[in-house]
């Protein structure tokens, strides 16, 4: 399927392009790009002073660059800003950043030539993925610069599984390196495409994670013999929240018809909070997710280039502003990281209740087939606890970090890219933690098979797990099972409720 940019993309569109969909522009979008390019051409011709067009950048914004040097300025900006370090971003993340960048240019306020956008579209269409180091951004700039390197024949990229120098990568997809014009270097490294693209990927993964969290919790709640009256619709409605209502409805549907829960009714006055408060924590995360998704879509609808050009070629307007700074985006990613870290922490606590012999009766200690000679899931709980603790550290907000850059010209930094990268790291850990709970919950149900029947909704989840891993009897390294189920949580959707 081809996704066409006419109006701004949504985060779902960006995530779809990241997963392999092709991107195209409507005639109206091409017209907007060409119109803005003509405005920049006119600025160059008339010599109107404009940041990044005929001046230096950052603290050098008052340094005038003569017309003969403006193309060199664009190239030099790309080269000097490409100073990222660390492991390379996955191909999916890079495709998302490129899609968000094209979307920004399509607003028609950047002034790049259509050729720039065509080259970026060709990267997506031909799955040519620039090598982009994951670290080194205090807000934006470095990640985008590494993508821009390939457009000018520098840097490197992976094309059909082969890593090639930039000029060879372009040749492999039938393109020549670009010679950048005035402002194009700045536009290519500018804006919030990096943080927006990464946040779109995070949203896609978080949405699936939240659905799995409900399904996995239901499997654990049933194995633990929870008191489901706490999840009644009327009871949960006493605390108005769309997220709580959705989480409660998901749990009720998944647990409907459970013989195990019917047998456990009245066994306890109330359950531990890691069981009883599932709708509240999962619901809060869903509310935060909805807010964060709205902010990412708002960012995609925004012009994030500085300066922005508008008006007409005969009456050009150059607006120097701070749209490339994205406090809301950083705060949204931080908020979702906190919410998902809490979801994962609760998952680890539920998993402990399944394995801990102090509270898991009538289940065997550590869900071991032969407690004593077998350790079962004793150390898997350690792993989940370690990952949960790491998430607690990662949940510290990036958006409140300080930092002074560019000779104090940039004396406020919102750190949206750091927040997005941190959110993705939290999701990585949360997927593993939920996978460990899923593994333990399925094992617990194996021991309860002769007690009473599972609900059809949880039985479908149990069957899906057993399609991928077998009952554990200390007969193999557990990390393989954890990895398999993490892949299920990351890439699949929970089994539908029959």
d(CA 363, CA 351): 13
d(CA 374, CA 397): 41
d(CA 251, CA 254): 5
Partners of 85 in the β-ladder: 135
Which among 170, 179, 189 has a CA at the least distance from the CA of 72? 179
CA dihedral 407, 410, 411, 415 (to 10 degrees): -130
Q: How many residues does the chain have?
A: 498
Task: Examine the residue annotation and report whether 51 is marked as an active-site residue of this protein.
Answer: yes
d(CA 274, CA 320): 51
Find the DSSP H helices in 47-190. 70-81, 91-105, 114-125, 142-151, 166-172, 184-189
d(CA 206, CA 286): 9
- Looking at residue 348, the DSSP 8-state letter turns out to be H
- Looking at residue 53, the DSSP 8-state letter turns out to be T
Marked catalytic residue, from 51, 140, 432, 472: 51
d(CA 200, CA 194): 10
Which among 208, 162, 178 has a CA at the least distance from the CA of 114? 178
The 3 state secondary structure assigned to 203-226 is: HHHHHHHHHHHHHHHHHHHHHCCC
Burial (Cβ within 10 Å: 0-12, 13-18, ≥19) of residue 391: buried
Residues tagged active-site: 51
């Amino acid at each position: 399927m081809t996704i066409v940019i006419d109006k701004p993309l949504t985060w779902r569109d960006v995530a779809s392009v990241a997963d392999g969909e092709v991107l195209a522009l409507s005639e109206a979008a091409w017209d907007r790009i060409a119109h803005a390019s003509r405005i920049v051409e006119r600025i160059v011709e008339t010599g109107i002073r404009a940041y990044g067009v005929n001046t230096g950048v950052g603290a050098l914004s008052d340094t005038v660059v003569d017309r003969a040097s403006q193309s060199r300025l664009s190239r030099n900006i790309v080269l000097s800003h490409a100073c990222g370090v660390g492991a390379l971003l996955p191909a999916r993340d890079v495709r998302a950043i490129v899609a968000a960048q094209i979307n920004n240019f399509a607003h028609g306020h950047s002034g790049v030539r259509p050729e720039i956008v065509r080259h970026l579209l060709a990267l997506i269409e031909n799955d040519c993925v620039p090598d982009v180091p994951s670290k080194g951004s205090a807000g934006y700039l470095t990640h985008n610069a590494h993508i821009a390197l390939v457009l000018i024949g520098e840097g490197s990229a992976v094309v059909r599984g082969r890593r090639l120098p930039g000029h060879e990568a372009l040749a492999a997809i039938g393109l020549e390196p670009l010679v950048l014009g005035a402002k194009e270097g700045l536009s290519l490294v500018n804006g919030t495409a990096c943080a927006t693209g990464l946040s779109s990927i995070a949203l896609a993964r978080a949405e699936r994670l939240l659905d799995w969290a409900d399904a996995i919790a239901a499997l654990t709640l049933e194995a633990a013999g929870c008191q489901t009256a706490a999840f009644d619709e009327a009871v949960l409605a006493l605390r108005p929240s769309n997220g709580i209502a959705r989480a409660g409805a998901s749990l009720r549907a998944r647990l409907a018809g459970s013989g195990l829960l019917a047998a456990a009714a009245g066994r306890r006055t109330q359950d531990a909070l890691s069981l009883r408060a599932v709708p509240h924590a999962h619901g809060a995360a869903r509310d935060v997710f909805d807010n964060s998704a709205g902010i990412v879509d708002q960012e995609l609808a925004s012009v994030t280039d500085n300066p922005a050009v508008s008006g007409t070629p005969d009456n050009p307007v150059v607006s120097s502003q701070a749209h490339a700074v994205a406090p809301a985006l950083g705060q949204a990613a931080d908020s979702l990281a906190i919410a998902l870290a809490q979801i994962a922490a609760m998952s680890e606590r539920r998993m402990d209740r399944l394995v801990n012999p102090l509270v898991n009766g009538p289940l065997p200690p550590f869900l071991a087939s032969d407690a004593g000679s077998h350790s079962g899931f004793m150390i898997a709980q350690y792993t989940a606890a370690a990952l949960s603790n790491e998430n607690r550290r990662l949940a510290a907000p990036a958006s409140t970090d300080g930092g002074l850059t560019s000779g104090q010209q940039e004396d406020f930094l919102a750190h949206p890219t750091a927040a997005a990268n941190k959110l993705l790291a939290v999701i990585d850990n949360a997927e593993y933690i939920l996978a460990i709970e899923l593994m333990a919950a399925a094992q617990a149900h194996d021991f309860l098979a002769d007690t009473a029947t599972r609900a059809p909704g949880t039985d479908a989840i149990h069957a899906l797990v057993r399609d991928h891993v077998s009952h554990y009897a200390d007969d193999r390294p557990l990390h393989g099972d954890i990895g398999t189920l993490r892949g299920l949580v990351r890439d699949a959707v929970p089994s539908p409720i029959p």
